[in-house]
Structure 1
Amino acid sequence: MPGTRLTAEAATRRLRAYLRQQAHRPQDRLEPERVLAARIGCSRETLRGALAVLEREGLIWRHVGQGTFVGPRPAHEPIRPSVLAEMASPADVLDARLLIEPPIAGGAALQASADDVALLRGYALKSSAAPDWQAYEQADDAFHKAIARMTGNPLLIAFLDVLSSVRGRARWQRQHDLAFRRARKKEYAARQGRMHMAIVEAIAARDPAAAQQAMFDHLSAVRAIMVHETADRDERA
C-alpha cells in the first residue's frame, strides 16, 4: 500500500500542512482516519501517532466515538487519560501517587480479606526476587492495583489504572531502568520488596494509619531514586 512507509515525523509535518491548507475553523470536525490517512499518504497507525502529537500541542482534540476536532479542547471536555499519561513526567506521576495511594492503602486495611492479604504477599515476594526492572515493574504494578481493588471503589481503581498506564511510556521505562541499575538491581528489588511487605503486614493487621505510612515511605523511596538521583546526574553532566 503506497505511503505506509512514511515516517511519523514526516506524517506529522504533512498533517500540519494539510490543516493549514484546509483553513479549518476552531472546532471543525476533521475527516475520518481512513480518509485522512489516504490524503496524508501514510498508514492509519502512523496517522494516529501524528494526531497524538498535534493533540498534545493543542492543535486538535479527539472525542472517542465522535471524531477529531480542530483547535484546543473546550473547557467542558476532559483531557483523555492517555494524553495526560503522555504529558506527565516521572516526577509528576510519583507526586500524584504520593497524594492518592497512601489513603488507598489505608482504606484497603479496613476492607482486605485473608485471600487479599495472601495475594499481596505473593506480589511482594515476586517484587523482592525480580531479576530486572521489567519483572519488578510487573510485580509492583500488580501489587498496587490489587490494593486499589480491595477498596471496592471503582473510581479509585480507575485512577490507579490511569497512573499505571504511564509504565508503558518510554520516558518512564528509561528512567526506571536507569534507577534500577544505579541502585544495583537485586538490592533495589529486595529493598522495595521489604517495603511492599511492610504494607502487607499493616493491611493484614487492619491498621489504616500504618498502611498509609508504609505506602508513603515506599513511594517516597522510589521518588528519591528515580527523581532526585536523576536530577543530580543531569547537574553533573
Structure 2
Amino acid sequence: MKQDQVIAALRLRVEAAGGSGTRLPAERGLAALLGCSRQSLRTALAVLEAEGALWRHVGQGTFLGPRPRGLPLRETVLLTATSPAQLMQARLIVEPPVAAEAARAAVPADLVRLEALLAQGRHARNRPEAEQADAAFHRAVAETAGNPVLLGLLDYLSGARRRAAWQQEWERTYRRIGVAEFTAVHSDQHAAVVAAIAAGDAARAEAAMRAHLNTFAAAMATPISPQTLPAPAHSAARRR
C-alpha cells in the first residue's frame, strides 16, 4: 500500500472512530486494520498529528483531536482508558493514606460535616442517592486532610464515576447487594473511618479506609447470578 493510501485510510478510520479524546488502537493493531507496515502507519500518524487531527503520548497511546494545552494528558483521555478494576486499585493506593492525613488534620467542624454525610448515607433510598452520598463522604475525608493536591487527585479519580463502564459496574453491584448493604455495612465502615479520624488515630483511619475499599472492591469483583437479580414486577404479581 502506498503512503498516500495509508494516510487516506487512516483519515477514514479517524473520522469513524469517535469524538475528541477517543483513543485509537495500538500501533500493531491499527497497522493490521489498515493493512500496512508499522513504519508506514507512523508516517501517516505524523501527518495527521501535524494537522491537529490526533496526538500521541508515549506510553499512553494515540488520541483524536488536538493536543491538550498545558497538560500532557487530559482527564477525559486517561479516564477513558481506565477500567473499574484499575480505578479501585488506584483508590486503594491513594485513599487510605488520605484518611490518615485527615485524622492528623481534623478540626471539630470537619467532624460535624463527616457525621452529617454519614447520616445521609444511612438514609439513602436508591442507587443514585447511595452513590451521591458515598462520593460526598470520600471527598469530605480528602477535604479534611487539608491538602489541595490530594483533594485534586481524589476529584480526578472521582471523574471516572461519570463513565459508562463505572456506572454499569456500580449498577450491577448495587442490584446484587441492594440498598441495605450501602445503608448498613458500608455506612458502618464509613462510621469506623469517622471514629478513627475523630480520635486522631492516623493508623486506624488508614486501616479502616483500606478495609472499606477492599470490601467494595470485592463486591464489584463478584460475578452476578440470576438468583440475585430482582424479579420483574409482573413475576412478583403472579406470585401474589
Return the TM-score normalized by structure 1. 0.70
Deviation at 1:57, TM superposition (A): 6.1
Match for 1:188 among 169, 177, 182?
182
Deviation at 1:187, TM superposition (A): 2.9
Does the Cα contact within 8 Å between 2:124 and 2:183 map onto a contact in 1?
yes
- Does the alignment pair 1:217 with 2:211? yes
Match for 1:170 among 137, 142, 164?
164
Partner Cα separation in structure 2 for residue 129 and residue 159 of structure 1:
28
Deviations 1:60-103 (A, max 9, x none): 4643458xxxxxxxxxx632221111111111011100010000
Deviation at 1:181, TM superposition (A): 1.3
Q: Please give the secondary structure, in 2, of the residue aligned with 1:58.
A: strand
Match for 1:30 among 31, 45, 52?
52
Residue aligning to 1:83: 77
Does the Cα contact within 8 Å between 1:111 and 1:151 map onto a contact in 2?
yes
Partner Cα separation in structure 2 for residue 135 and residue 108 of structure 1:
25
Query: Higher Cα Rg: structure 1 or 2?
Result: 2
Partner Cα separation in structure 2 for residue 11 and residue 61 of structure 1:
11
Summarize the Cα distance change of 1:116–1:212 in structure 2 as closer, same or farther, 3 Å threshold.
same
Does the Cα contact within 8 Å between 2:52 and 2:65 map onto a contact in 1?
no
Match for 1:96 among 81, 90, 95?
90
Does the Cα contact within 8 Å between 2:111 and 2:198 map onto a contact in 1?
yes
Partner Cα separation in structure 2 for residue 194 and residue 180 of structure 1:
17
Deviations 1:105-151 (A, max 9, x none): 00000101111011011111111221122111111111111111122
How do 1:1-237 and structure 2 match up within 5 A? 12=16, 25=47, 27-30=49-52, 58-60=62-64, 62-65=66-69, 78-227=72-221, 229-230=222-223
Amino acid at match of 2:194: V
Summarize the Cα distance change of 1:210–1:115 in structure 2 as closer, same or farther, 3 Å threshold.
same
Question: How many corresponding residue pairs?
Answer: 188
Partner Cα separation in structure 1 for residue 72 and residue 210 of structure 2:
29
Summarize the Cα distance change of 1:57–1:63 in structure 2 as closer, same or farther, 3 Å threshold.
closer
Identical residues among aligned pairs (%): 34
Amino acid at match of 1:175: E
Partner Cα separation in structure 1 for residue 81 and residue 100 of structure 2:
29
Residue aligning to 1:71: none
Consecutive unaligned residues of structure 1, counting only runs of 5 or more, are 1-8, 32-50, 67-76
Amino acid at match of 2:67: H
Amino acid at match of 1:218: H
Residue aligning to 2:37: none
Amino acid at match of 1:105: A
Summarize the Cα distance change of 1:103–1:225 in structure 2 as closer, same or farther, 3 Å threshold.
same
Summarize the Cα distance change of 1:119–1:57 in structure 2 as closer, same or farther, 3 Å threshold.
same
